[in-house]
Structure 1
Amino acid sequence: MGEKYNLWSFYLILVCLGLAAYSLYSNMNNTWLIAPPNYILLLISLIALTLGVIGLKDKRNWWAKTRSWFTIIISTLTSIGLFLVVSFTLFFSSMGSDEHIQTFSSPGDKYNIDFYRYDAGAAGSFGVRGEINGPLWFKKRIYLQHNTEQVEVEWENNEKLSINNHILNLDEGETYGYH
């Protein structure tokens, strides 16, 4: 019975690590965010930890034992890291605010962009952020402008738009305000 849990926990933590790494990469490089939210990744790592502990019963060979201990150690570290990220996010998001301003759709409904007004309060700045929504929880941040509260959007065609006088071609993956 432990052998199934041993293998499942190992694969689950590898998937969780891959998704967490891609989430970090996509936030740093403004690519499509396809990883689930961090609290879901935390749940996956806790499930992997639980299955890894149950998988310790698998004592068939040294590889099974090593895999179980590797899974337990990695899932514990991943769970702690994700718990800190989720806690940090909850703490600082409660200090500031995120307010949905408006959703703009391209003329052919190819793109839907949600704009949010953010204010970090005393901990940071304020401004406007724009995100393209994809399927499920997928999204891509395309626009960030500090020290403004309004957003003016004008579509030139189905792929090109002007946001507060900054022209973006969405088919070419252009963004504004992100480095």
Structure 2
Amino acid sequence: MAKRYNVGSFYLILVCFGLGLYSLYSNLNHTWMIAQPNYILLVFSLLAFVFGIIGFKDKRNWRTKIRSWFTIILSLLMAIVLSLAVLLTLFASSLGANEYIKTVQSPDGKYTIDFYRYDAGALGSHGIRGELNGPLWFKKRIYYRDREEQVEVEWKNNSTISINNHTLNLKKGETYGY
């Protein structure tokens, strides 16, 4: 039984770590964000930590011991980093850093875009952000513009949109403001 926990917690923390790295990459490069929200990754990393502790009972050879220590250390570090990220997100959203403006949908209903007003306060600027909704929880930032207060949206056709006089072809994956 301990063998399952040892191996399962190891693979679980590797998946969490991979999704966390991809989440960071997608935020920096404005690609599709496929990772679950940070609080779900936090729960998975805590589960990997608990399962890793249970997996310490598996003492068959030196590899299982190293795998247990690796799982415990990586899951603890992941839990700390994700806890800070969740707390920072909660703190920033309670200050009104991200304010929902509106949701628009393409004429054929294929594309849905949520618009937010962001304000970094003394740490940065303010502006408008548009996120294209994908399947499940997937999102992609398609519009990001500093020092704008309002958003004017006009659909040219089923896949082409004009946001504050900037035309984007969503079928081609175009973005604006980066």
TM-score (norm 2): 0.94
Secondary structure of the corresponding residue to residue 103 of structure 1:
strand
Question: Shift in Å at residue 119 of structure 1?
Answer: 2.6
Partner Cα distance (2:123, 2:96) in 1: 8
Does residue 32 of structure 2 align to residue 32 of structure 1? Answer: yes
State the one-letter code of the partner of 1:74: L
Aligned to 1:101: 101
Does residue 135 of structure 2 align to residue 135 of structure 1? Answer: yes
Aligned to 1:49: 49
Partner Cα distance (1:25, 1:95) in 2: 26
Question: Shift in Å at residue 90 of structure 1?
Answer: 2.1
TM-score (norm 1): 0.93
Deviation string for 1:124-158 (max 9, x for gaps)?
A: 32211111111221111110122222111111111
Q: What does residue range 11-90 of structure 1 map to in structure 2 within 5 Å?
A: 11-90=11-90
Secondary structure of the corresponding residue to residue 41 of structure 1:
helix
Deviation string for 1:7-64 (max 9, x for gaps)?
A: 1100100000110011001101111101001111111111101100000000112111
Root-mean-square deviation over aligned CA pairs: 1.3
Deviation string for 1:66-111 (max 9, x for gaps)?
A: 1111111111111111122222222233223322222111121110
Q: What does residue range 132-171 of structure 1 map to in structure 2 within 5 Å?
A: 132-171=132-171
State the one-letter code of the partner of 2:16: C
Partner Cα distance (2:92, 2:100) in 1: 18
Aligned to 1:7: 7
Partner Cα distance (1:161, 1:91) in 2: 33
State the one-letter code of the partner of 2:118: Y
Secondary structure of the corresponding residue to residue 63 of structure 2:
helix
Partner Cα distance (2:15, 2:92) in 1: 28
State the one-letter code of the partner of 1:76: L
State the one-letter code of the partner of 2:124: G
Deviates most, 46-55 or 129-138: 129-138
Runs of 4+ displaced beyond 6 Å = none
The question of whether the paired residues in 2 share the 8 Å contact of 1:95 and 1:120 is answered with no
Partner Cα distance (1:150, 1:144) in 2: 12
The question of whether the paired residues in 2 share the 8 Å contact of 1:159 and 1:169 is answered with yes
The question of whether the paired residues in 2 share the 8 Å contact of 1:117 and 1:126 is answered with yes
Question: Shift in Å at residue 163 of structure 1?
Answer: 0.5
Question: Shift in Å at residue 160 of structure 1?
Answer: 1.1
Percent of aligned positions that are identical: 67
Deviates most, 105-114 or 47-56: 105-114
